[in-house]
Amino acid sequence: MELGKIGTAELTVTEDVTAKAVGSGSLTVFSTPHMVALMEEAACSCIQDDLENGQSSVGTKLDIAHVAATPIGMRVRAEAKLTAADGRRLTFAVSAFDDSGLIGEGTHERFIISTEKFLGKTYAKLG
């Protein structure tokens, strides 16, 4: 995996991705949970072409700050830059921007996994 590689993801803020709609607050502004999901989507897009058949990645750690609110109707773009690759553990610098500037930033960690093995272990919990 190439350090410095950048992945992106974008969306337009609609009513269904607001804090009020998802229960993370009472205001009709872009929600923190959706900003987190957009950052994770950007990280996934960053490494997607580097994964082998039968591999995926899972998010394991996130440390972010949501520093500015975004209204309905505005575009949001998330970026994830691969900053470290230690075996299966990947670390990203993540950030999110609306048309007015930075709205969030932090770090995100993902692990490369074998999809079949991971799902087998997960669903074994059901007995």
Residue 14's region, left for phi above 0, alpha for psi from -120 to 50, else beta, is: beta
Active-site positions?
A: 32, 40, 66
SS (H, E, C) 105-118: EEEEEEEEEEHHHH
Measured distance between the N- and C-terminal CA atoms of the chain, rounded to whole angstroms: 37
What is the residue whose two structure tokens read 């996130």?
A: 62
